[in-house]
Structure 1
Amino acid sequence: MKNKFLWIPFLLLVFGSCSQKPLEHQEVLEVESGVETTENYIKVGSVEEARDFYTWTSDRIPMVSAHRGGPYPGFPENSIETFANVVKYTPTIVELDVAMTKDGVLVLMHDDKLDRTTTGKGLVSDATYEEIQTLFLKDEDGNVTDFKVPTFEEALIWSKGKALLTVDIKQSVPYEKIIEAVRETESEAHAALITYSFAAAKKLHSMAPELMLSVTIRNEEEIERFEETGIPWTRVIAFTGVTERPQEFNRALHEKGVFTILGVLGNLDKSAIARGDQLYTSFVQKGADILATDRPIEAAAAIKTLAPSKSSKSKYFKK
Structure 2
Amino acid sequence: MGDHAVYVVGAGGQLGRALMARTFGGGAPIGFGSAELDVTDAAAVASALAGLGPGDVVINAAAYTDVDGAETDRAAAYAVNAAGPAHLAEVTAAAGARLIHVSTDYVFTGEAARTVPFEPADLDPEAAPTTVYGASKLAGEWAALRGDPTATVVRTSWVFTGGPDSNDFVGTMRRLEAARPEISVVDDQRGSPTYVDDLADGLVELVEQTWVVPAATAGKVMHATGAGDGTWCDLARAVFAGVGADPQRVHPCTTADFPRPAPRPAFSVLSNDSWRAAGLTPLRDWRAALTASLDR
Structure scoring higher RCO (CA < 8 A, sep ≥ 6) equals: 1
Instruction: Give the TM-score, by structure 2 length.
Output: 0.32
Of Structure 1 and Structure 2, the greater helix share is in 2
Instruction: Give the TM-score, by structure 1 length.
Output: 0.30
